[in-house]
């Protein structure tokens, strides 16, 4: 990446964490968007210095808004699927749960989509087997010859907004702590 990065965001999706970087030439109007260091959009000469640019990030649409805030100062904001960045990220933490685990010297990022019960590992959707258990449900899958299970059990909290269901990842029978987002 050659130019000056004007804005940077890390966006967590089911299949991975994506770094979106935006380069803005405030004299030429040049706009360049990078995703994970790879250039995905370039506009070299733009007479209009404000506006927006939209790119696809796997299953999501990312829109960068460029606004003048006086003089030659600009403000950059990111929307993901039509939601402001922070609102999107807050919503993601409600509808998904993430864990990282090191198995046989390799780092794995496991994500549970709570609404669909889909499980992702390092960007790949996993084949799972779901079954009912005495204390809730269990979603079984394997990662690198290790037995994995996501248990969904009642937290004992009945009030809305307090998450009545807890999701726990077990790898070879041991509990894995969740990633704080």
**Each residue of 56-70: pLDDT tens digit?**
998 899 999 999 888
Provide the CATH number for the domain formed by 5-81 in this structure. 2.40.128.180
Q: What is the DSSP string of the chain?
A: --S-EEEEEEEEETTEEEEEEEEE-TTT--EEEEETTEEEEEE---S--SEEEEEEETTEEEEEEEEE-STT-EEEEEEETTEEHHHHHHHHHHHEEEEEEEETTEEEEEEEETTTTEEEETTEEPP-EEEEETTEEEEEEEETTEEEEEEEEE-S--STTS-SEEEEEEETTEEEPBPP-
- What average pLDDT is seen over the chain? 87
Q: What is the pLDDT of residues 131-148, one digit of tens each?
A: 888 888 899 999 999 999
Q: Do domains 5-81 and 95-176 have the same CATH topology?
A: yes
- Residue 110 pLDDT more than 80? yes
CATH class of 95-176: mainly beta
What is the per-residue pLDDT for 157? 67
Domain boundaries, the chain: 5-81, 95-176
């Amino acid at each position: 990446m050659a130019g000056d990065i004007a804005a940077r965001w890390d966006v967590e999706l089911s299949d991975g964490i994506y770094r979106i970087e935006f380069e803005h030439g405030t004299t030429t109007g040049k706009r360049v968007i990078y995703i994970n260091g790879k250039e995905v959009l370039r506009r070299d000469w733009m007479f209009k210095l404000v506006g927006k640019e939209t790119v696809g990030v796997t299953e999501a649409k990312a829109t960068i808004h460029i606004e003048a805030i006086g003089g030659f100062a600009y403000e950059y904001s990111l929307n993901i699927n039509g939601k402001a960045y922070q609102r999107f990220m807050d919503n993601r933490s409600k509808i998904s749960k993430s864990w990282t685990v090191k198995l046989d010297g390799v780092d794995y990022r496991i994500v549970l989509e709570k609404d669909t019960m889909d499980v992702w590992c390092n960007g790949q959707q996993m084949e799972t087997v779901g079954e009912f258990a005495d204390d809730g449900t269990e979603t079984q899958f394997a990662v690198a010859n290790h037995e994995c299970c996501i248990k969904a059990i009642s937290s004992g909290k009945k009030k809305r907004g307090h998450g009545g269901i807890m999701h726990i990842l077990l790898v070879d029978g041991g509990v894995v702590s969740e990633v704080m987002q």
